[in-house]
């Protein structure tokens, strides 16, 4: 079996056993990236020399008898809005250009502590704002299953890198579904942890109360292992949870006694593909066969989730992106006439259309005349959405739904219709508003062979339950696209 076909767990086991060397794994994956990523466009930066040097270091460590590190020799890709010291970090924006952070994100530090090898940085929608990775200012990322289709967004590069067999593991960020939706489109496992379970230190902020870093993988066990590595308290992040996630990393498909809720509001939605609905309901039958009880639940406030999200997210984005003005950070225009001209032209040249749209929306809802009518009201609705989930989790342990209303759409299909694009995240946004964990696991394909994902949601800090339940749906190493 080729290294690119192996799970992360299997790669580590073989390196520890002396069956393969970390350098051989890295060389094989870099060769695969060099051969195929010119067409896929998953990576914006590939660290050839650094990855090989790191692999040699690990091989020397193993030869000396030191096999510590839960990700020893495992290649990992990082979304390009997560900082890594002295490695170009662009957020796929002209605004950041050649920015090289003077520090690494907490998650990167933890990966390196456990022996991981960072292969490179992956493409995304600019500043993580989008659902298709079409908003990248750098390049287009294609879906490995059908290169005429988008990989989803905003973490499309990370999802595509895993689906294409470039890496067994990748990190993304999820503000409104940006891990789970591309995981669904690309047929991989993607997880948004409980808010606060993973440090956001070193993640370039979009919506600070919504953002969360999480894993992509081809197996449930790999995703759980990666989350276990990156989770935990970080004093540099004031929203970091006190206690580390309790993850067992030992899963079986016995779900006896588990109660799974199917929200009618998620299955009677206009725009839900019949093939997606059928595949997701078939997946819930697998949960039933494994011993789970299936029952209907209601989430009446989720119909307001899209509007609520885009008020809160754009408000936070306008604040977070105000620092990119050509003086404090980011691209600076040439030959400015005065400070106002410097600010306005630098931002005009540095930001793309979608980022500008969200900044303007955010400034509008935060303005003196509209703060109470829009932003304050959205915060109140957000709490009611969270209350809906809390009530539902008094009746059931897990909620099951589609991860996206359709399979991957073609390039350009929704590019000129922002509202239609925003609806791609209709099933995922509520979890970010409520702060609860959500996991997408592949559960089938449509008539065109495009992947379909099942989304599982549960209460705060019960992330382990999602991994256990998803094992009943897909316990194997999911397929590589080519």
Termini Cα distance of the chain: 15
Residue identified by tokens 């895993």 is 162
277 is catalytic: no
2 is catalytic: no
**Which two tokens mark 279?**
């595949």
Would you state the torsion angle of the CA atoms of residues 232, 237, 241, 245, taken in this order, to the nearest 10 degrees?
A: -20
- 402 closest CA partner among 282, 252, 249: 282
Question: Which residue out of 104, 155, 158, 178 is catalytically annotated?
Answer: 178
178 is catalytic: yes
Q: CA 273, 277, 279, 283 torsion: positive or negative?
A: positive
Question: Which residue out of 14, 79, 142, 192 is catalytically annotated?
Answer: 79
- CA geometry: angle 161, 166, 171, nearest 5 deg: 45
**Which two tokens mark 22?**
């970390």
Q: What is the DSSP letter of 375?
A: I
Report the side by side order of strands in the sheet with 438-445: 43-46, 117-122, 75-79, 169-173, 213-217, 189-192, 438-445, 451-458, 398-402, 259-263, 293-297
Question: Which residue out of 104, 154, 240, 470 is catalytically annotated?
Answer: 154
- Region label for 66, one of left (φ > 0), alpha (ψ between -120 and 50) or beta (otherwise): beta
Catalytic residues: 79, 154, 178
């Amino acid at each position: 079996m080729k290294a690119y076909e192996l799970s992360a767990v299997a790669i580590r086991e073989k390196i520890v056993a002396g069956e393969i060397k970390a350098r051989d794994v890295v060389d094989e994956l870099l060769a695969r990236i060099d051969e195929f990523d010119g067409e896929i466009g998953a990576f914006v930066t590939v660290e050839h020399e650094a990855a090989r040097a790191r692999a040699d270091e690990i091989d020397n460590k193993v030869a000396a008898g030191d096999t510590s590190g839960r990700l020893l020799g495992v290649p990992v890709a990082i979304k390009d809005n997560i900082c890594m010291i002295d490695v170009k970090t662009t957020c796929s924006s002209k605004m950041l250009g050649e920015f090289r952070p003077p520090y690494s994100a907490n998650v990167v530090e933890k990966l390196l502590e456990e022996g991981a090898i960072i292969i490179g940085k992956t493409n995304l929608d600019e500043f993580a704002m989008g659902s298709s990775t079409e908003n990248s200012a750098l390049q287009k990322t294609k879906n490995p299953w059908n290169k005429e289709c988008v990989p989803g967004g905003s973490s499309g590069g990370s999802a595509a890198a895993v689906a294409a067999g470039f890496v067994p593991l990748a990190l993304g960020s999820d503000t409104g579904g940006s891990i789970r939706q591309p995981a669904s489109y690309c047929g991989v496992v993607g997880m948004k942890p409980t808010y606060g379970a993973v440090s956001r230190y070193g993640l370039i902020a979009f919506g600070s109360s919504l953002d969360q870093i999480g894993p992509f993988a081809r197996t449930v066990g790999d995703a759980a292992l990666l989350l276990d590595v990156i989770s935990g308290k970080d004093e540099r992040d004031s929203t970091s949870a006190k206690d580390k996630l309790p993850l067992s990393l030992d899963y079986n498909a016995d779900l006896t006694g588990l109660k799974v809720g199917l929200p009618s509001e998620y299955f009677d939605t206009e725009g839900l593909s019949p093939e997606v609905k059928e595949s997701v309901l078939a997946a819930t039958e697998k949960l039933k066969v494994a011993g789970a009880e299936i029952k209907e639940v209601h989430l009446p406030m989720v119909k307001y989730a899209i509007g609520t999200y885009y008020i809160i997210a754009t408000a936070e984005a306008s604040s977070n992106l105000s620092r990119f003005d050509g003086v404090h950070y980011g691209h600076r225009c040439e030959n400015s006439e005065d400070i106002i001209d410097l600010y306005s032209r630098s931002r005009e040249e540095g930001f793309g259309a979608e980022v500008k749209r969200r900044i303007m929306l955010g400034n509008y809802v935060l303005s003196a005349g509209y703060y109470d009518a829009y932003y304050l009201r959205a915060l109140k609705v957000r709490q009611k959405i969270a209350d809906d989930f809390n009530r539902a989790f008094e009746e059931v342990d897990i909620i099951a739904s589609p991860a996206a209303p359709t399979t991957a759409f073609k390039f350009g299909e929704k590019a000129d219709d922002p509202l239609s694009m925003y609806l791609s995240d209709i099933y995922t946004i509520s979890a970010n508003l409520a702060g609860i964990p959500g996991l997408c696991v592949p559960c089938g394909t449509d008539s065109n062979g495009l992947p379909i994902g099942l989304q599982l949601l549960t209460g705060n800090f019960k992330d382990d339950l999602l991994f256990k339940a998803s094992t009943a749906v897909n316990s194997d190493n999911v397929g590589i696209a080519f």
